[in-house]
Amino acid sequence: MTRSSNGYTDGCTEGTVHVGGTALTMIRGGSGRPLLVLHEELGHPGWLSWHKALAQDHLLNIPVHPGFGALPRADWVRGVRDLAGFYSRMLGDMASEPVDVIGFSLGGWIAAEMAAACADQFNSMVLVAPMGIRPREGEIKDLFVVTARAYLNASVHDAESTPEFASLYGGETTPEQYEAWEDARTESARLAWKPYMHNDSLAPLLEGVRGLPTLVIWGREDQIVPLESGHIYNRSIAGSELAVFDDCGHRPEIEKAEQFVSRVRDFLA
C-alpha cells in the first residue's frame, strides 16, 4: 500500500492509497484509536460535525469507495460482498491490528459483510441504518426511480429542523454535486441492483458472529430502510444493541447529531 497526501480542511488529509492495483481516495483526520468509516450510497458527504466530534478520540480513516469519486472503479468488484473483501484486503495491507468500524446505509452493509466473513478484523462495529437485509414488512426505498435530490429529501424526517442537512443539500444543485451523485448512483446500481440493496444470505451468516460488540442505530421514522431491518440485524448479531432515535429518519448522524455522538462515543469507549 502506498500513500500520497494533499491538503484537506479541519486538519485532515486527503490522499491516495493503492490496494492491489486499485487506487483509492483516503481521507484521514483526528487522533487516537483507528476508526474505519464507510460511507453511504450517494458518496462521502464531507467532514461533518459528528466527524469532528469523534476525531477528538479517534483517528478516522474514510475511504471513498472505488468509482464513487474522482478515481475509477475496480472492475473486479462486482457486488457488495466483493467490496467488503476489498476493504478486508486494505486492512491486511495496512498490517493493522483490529480496528473499530462505523458504516452508514450502504457502508453499514459493507461493514456487516466484512464482519460475517471475519469478525476478528474489528474491535467493535457500529451500523447506522444499514442496507443489506430485506425487511419482512415494507421495502428499501428505490434509489433509481427518483432523483438524487428527492432521495436525499426522503432521508431525513424533518429537514427544516436539521441545519446540517440544509448546509449540505440546500439551494440549487451545483454541476459538481449532480455529477458526484450520478457517479455514485451508477456505481451503486452496478454493485447492488439485483437483488436490490440486500443479500438474503447476510442475516444467516451474521448469526455465526460471536464476541463482536455491535451497536445498531436507527431512526424510527426512517423512510429509506424500514426499522424492521434493524430488528433483524439486532436478532442476527449475538449480543448486539439496537438504539432507536425518535423523530428521526435515515440520517441520525445529522438529524440527531448530539444524541448520535454521545451514544457512539460511549459505545466505542
Annotate 43-80 with three-state secondary structure: CCCCCCHHHHHHCCCEEEEEEECCCCCCCCCCCCCCCH
- Residue 156 to residues 57, 153, 160, 176, 255, Cα–Cα distance (Å): 27, 6, 10, 22, 7
Output phi, psi for 133, to 5 deg.
-120, 125
- Residue 149 to residues 11, 39, 254, Cα–Cα distance (Å): 30, 18, 17
Task: Write the CATH number for 240.
Answer: 3.40.50.1820
pLDDT, one tens digit per residue, over 221-266 is 999 999 999 999 999 999 999 999 999 999 999 999 999 999 999 9
- Characterize the bridge pairing of strands 22-30 and 58-64: antiparallel
Owning domain of residue 227? 3-268
Q: What is the mean pLDDT of residues 192-198?
A: 95
pLDDT, one tens digit per residue, over 26-77 is 999 999 999 999 999 999 999 999 999 999 999 999 999 999 988 888 999 9
Output phi, psi for 59, to 5 deg.
-90, 110
- Residue 38 to residues 41, 106, 109, 170, 246, Cα–Cα distance (Å): 10, 8, 9, 24, 24
Q: Could you check whether the bond before residue 226 is cis, i.e. omega within 30 degrees of 0? A: no
Q: What is the mean pLDDT of residues 196-206?
A: 97
Q: What is the mean pLDDT of residues 155-170?
A: 91
Global pTM value: 0.95
Domain count, the chain: 1
Q: What is the mean pLDDT of residues 202-224?
A: 98
> Which pLDDT score is estimated for 8?
46
Q: Alpha-carbon distance 105 to 39, whole Å?
A: 7
Q: What is the mean pLDDT of residues 178-182?
A: 92
pLDDT, one tens digit per residue, over 74-93 is 999 999 999 999 999 999 99
pLDDT at 9 over 80: no
**pLDDT interval class at 10 (50, 70, 90):** low
- Tracing cell 483507528 back to the chain, one arrives at 34
User: Maximum CA pair distance of the chain?
Assistant: 47
> Which pLDDT score is estimated for 70?
84
Phi-psi region of 247 (alpha: psi -120 to 50; beta: other; left: phi over 0): left
**Helix (H) / strand (E) containing 83:** helix 80-93
> Which pLDDT score is estimated for 2?
36
Q: Measuring CA to CA, which residue among 80, 111, 107, 101 is closest to residue 198?
A: 80
- Residue 248 to residues 107, 155, 160, 162, 239, Cα–Cα distance (Å): 19, 9, 12, 10, 24
CB 242, CB 252: distance < 8 Å: no
